[in-house]
């Protein structure tokens, strides 16, 4: 798939992902939000539920270069180790 994708398509997907996140990180954030909303009425007055506390895999946002992203996909698909170019 990556071999057939043009740079313009890649940039389009990156833009779309920044506007409408999808995949496991987005599902994880959604899960954290649902848990925080569900528990909020049961907390002491003035306390706030932090969705990050309920996320399965909280992560630091990071910008990946196209080479880093391609390496991640290769590793995820079993096509080689994760390596940065």
What is the pTM (predicted TM-score) of this model? 0.46
| Residue that is written with structure tokens 């390596």 in the block | 83
Contact 51, 32 (CB under 8 A): yes
Q: Which residue has the tokens 């049961």?
A: 42
Q: Which residue has the higher pLDDT, 2 or 29?
A: 29
Is 51 in contact with 35 (CB distance < 8 Å)? yes
Helix ranges restricted to H, the chain: 7-19, 24-39, 66-76
Q: Give the pLDDT score at 54.
A: 79
Read off the pLDDT band of 27 (50, 70, 90). confident
Residue whose tokens read 């994760």: 82
């Amino acid at each position: 798939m990556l071999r057939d994708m043009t740079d313009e398509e890649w940039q389009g997907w990156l833009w779309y992902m920044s506007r409408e996140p999808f995949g496991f990180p987005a599902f994880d954030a959604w899960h954290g939000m649902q848990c925080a909303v569900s528990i909020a009425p049961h907390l002491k007055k003035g306390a706030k539920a932090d969705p990050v506390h309920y996320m399965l895999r909280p992560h630091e946002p990071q910008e990946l270069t196209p080479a880093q992203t391609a390496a991640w996909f290769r590793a995820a698909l079993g096509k080689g180790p994760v390596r940065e170019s």
